[in-house]
């Protein structure tokens, strides 16, 4: 009787090891979610910057964010099909709307974290590899 119990205990232990092994191997096949981060810095001289970002499909409106001088705003999203955020930056009567999440922009950023800086003469993008800001867009009236 005691021998039979030990055999059953070994069988249960073996089954438990199999369950853990299959559980771990199947969880490693789950694709990792990649996030992309977008940051805006208001570097305008004594002006408020309005930032409004939207994605069309699926429709996502991140609402209006009002940045005082030197303030920052950052959002992130899970990279996937259909994610093409367009942001509208405004100050006074000038504005500029542009895509912040296309492949070319991400490549220019150098990673998954793009940093945009609004200045009096236009909008700049930080290249994280060179740690230099590059002029991207002028303001439109």
If one counts every other C-beta atom within 10 angstroms of the C-beta of residue 98, the result is 16
Tens of pLDDT, residues 87-115: 999 999 999 999 997 778 888 887 789 99
Tens of pLDDT, residues 48-94: 999 999 998 888 999 999 999 999 999 998 887 677 899 999 999 99
Q: Which long-range contacts (CB under 8 A, 24 or more apart) does 1-5 make?
A: none
Tens of pLDDT, residues 12-50: 545 444 444 444 444 455 566 788 899 999 999 999 999
How far is Cα 62 from Cα 51, in angstroms, rounded to an integer? 9
**pLDDT value, residue 17:** 43
**pLDDT value, residue 24:** 47
How far is Cα 111 from Cα 91, in angstroms, rounded to an integer? 28
**pLDDT value, residue 28:** 53
Tens of pLDDT, residues 5-21: 555 556 554 544 444 44
Q: Is 0.85 topped by the overall pTM?
A: no
Asked whether the predicted pLDDT for residue 138 surpasses 90, the reply is yes
């Amino acid at each position: 009787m005691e021998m039979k119990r030990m055999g059953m205990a070994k069988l249960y232990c073996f089954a438990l090891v199999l369950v853990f092994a299959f559980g771990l191997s199947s969880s490693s096949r789950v694709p990792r979610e990649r996030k992309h981060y977008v940051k805006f810095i208001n570097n305008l001289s004594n002006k408020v910057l309005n930032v409004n970002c939207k994605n069309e499909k699926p429709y996502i409106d991140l609402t209006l964010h009002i940045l005082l001088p030197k303030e920052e705003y950052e959002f992130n999203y899970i990279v996937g099909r259909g994610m093409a955020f367009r942001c509208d930056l405004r100050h006074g009567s000038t504005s500029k709307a542009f895509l912040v999440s296309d492949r070319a922009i991400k490549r220019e950023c150098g990673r998954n974290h793009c940093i945009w800086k609004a200045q009096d003469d236009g909008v700049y993008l930080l290249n994280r590899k060179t740690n230099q800001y590059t002029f991207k867009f002028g303001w439109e009236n």
